[in-house]
Amino acid sequence: MELKRVVVTGLGALTPIGNDVETSWRNAVEGVSGAGPITHFDASLFKTRFACEVKDFNPADHFDRRKARQLDLYAMYALVAADEAINDARLDTEDVDHNRVGVIFAAGIGGLHTFEEEAGYYAINADKGPKYNPFFIPKMIADIAAGQISIDHGFHGPNFGTVSACASSNNALIDAFNYIRLGQADAIVAGGAEAAIFPAGVGGFNSMRALSTRNDDPATASRPFSGSRDGFVIGEGAAALVLEELEHAKARGAKIYAEVAGGGMSADAYHITATHPEGLGAVLVMENALRDAGMKPEDIDYVNLHGTSTPVGDSGEEKAIKKVFGEHAYKMNLSSTKSMTGHLLGAAGALEALFTVKAITDGIVPPTINHEEGDNDPEIDYNLNFTFNKAQKREINAALSNTFGFGGHNAALILKKYKE
């Protein structure tokens, strides 16, 4: 069976550094930090009191009151990003067979805010017996963003959510890629959304000592690959990409941003939260992605790193990069856009894939911000080009985007410049 070619024809984003694709990308290139004091709740008693929140988001601008009652914040973010991508791709039109259009949308956690609200209500009113909002379950579950997108647009193709912690939306993109290249769909809206900046999310990650506690200077707290990094900065938002079969896209005159070349998955099989210190799972997932794409390490010009700003995670990924790419590792650009957006958990992979697409189309590598001269980790080789602090122009023919999640889940996606 001949596999079909798959391209990216639509992009959508709602992020801590912009409420659409162009604003988010411009701020990423300019090195703008999305971190600031938490406003979603009173965090004054928490170890971490800052995050990368979406700014100036009013549900009433996007949903009527009836619809808003049915949606957790994470699903709202998903619908807004998906709408932008669908409109960008001109996918919701009569010349597209909606039976052949699917939605695969990820969340690592899902409706945490809804769960927290309902659990809190019951705790306060336990003596009155159980009483729950009828929308509680369909607002909370991690697959509902995919369902809501399909309902809004009448897309009847493959429809589900993927959950693999911080690798979730990269897995969604790889699944969409495989469905399309196997001929089971013409197009799929794929991505991820997350909204966990609430007491349970921040408190839970604090108890694991996973979050940065640099409360005196939030804007510089996410500092991947720097010696003084002390944990990730939690972020929120959504990103969506329309993946489409090449001939289908060409037949309808769709704009083509880039081509999906391949995807890889692996498991660390090591620890419930920590990545392997030598990056063994990371090595395997990148090798699997290269093999799937039919590419050699020398074909990759840029890697959007998982780069969370955690001590063990960053050093393990650096070791893996050098093992997979050898001497070519020193010729590539590397960067972590989480230095600006924070870590969007289950939405991270989709947003970073979107930034990777924009890097290819615009010929520019977004930076890894917040690195100070001399703030080095002896475990990290600074002869590698981490694109510290300032974007760099370069022709990018192919790029790889890494995501690694709690449980040892790893996913890597390879995107390349579209050529006839």
* Calpha distance 259→264 (Å, rounded): 16
Identify the pLDDT of residue 148: 98
Pairing relation of β-strands 392-393 and 364-365? antiparallel
| 93: helix, strand or coil | coil
* Calpha distance 354→173 (Å, rounded): 11
Identify the pLDDT of residue 24: 98
Strands (E), 82-216: 101-106, 159-160, 187-194
Mean pLDDT in consecutive groups of 10 residues from the start of the chain, 420 residues: 95 98 98 98 97 98 96 98 98 94 98 88 67 89 98 98 98 98 98 97 96 98 98 98 98 97 96 87 97 98 98 95 98 98 98 98 98 96 98 98 96 96
Identify the pLDDT of residue 95: 87
* Calpha distance 248→96 (Å, rounded): 9
Structure-token match 């210190």, residue found: 277
Burial of 43 (0-12, 13-18, 19+ CB in 10 A): buried
- Catalytic residue among 98, 113, 276, 343, which? 343
Structure-token match 């081509």, residue found: 259
Reply yes or no on whether 166 is catalytic: yes
DSSP letter at 371?
P
Identify the pLDDT of residue 126: 63
Q: Which of 305, 217, 308 is nearest to 33 (CA)?
A: 217
Reply yes or no on whether 328 is catalytic: no
* Calpha distance 368→335 (Å, rounded): 5
* Ordered structural domains, the chain, with CATH: 7-416 (3.40.47.10)
3-state secondary structure labels for all residues of 255-301: CCCEEEEEEEEEECCCCCCCCCCCCHHHHHHHHHHHHHHCCCHHHCC
Structure-token match 């597209």, residue found: 96
Whole-structure pTM value: 0.97
Q: Which of 58, 372, 363 is nearest to 214 (CA)?
A: 372
- Catalytic residue among 98, 306, 371, 409, which? 306
* Calpha distance 358→68 (Å, rounded): 31
| 362: helix, strand or coil | helix
Say if residues 7 and 244 touch (Cβ distance below 8 Å): yes
* Calpha distance 282→164 (Å, rounded): 15
Residue 215, phi then psi, degrees to nearest 5 = -65, -20
| 329: helix, strand or coil | helix
| 397: helix, strand or coil | coil
- Catalytic residue among 153, 166, 276, 371, which? 166
How many other CB atoms are found less than 10 A from the CB of residue 328? Answer: 16
Identify the pLDDT of residue 274: 86
Structure-token match 């900065």, residue found: 233
CA 366 to chain centre: 15
Let me know the angle formed at the C-alpha of 349 by 39 and 141, rounded to the nearest 5 degrees. Answer: 65
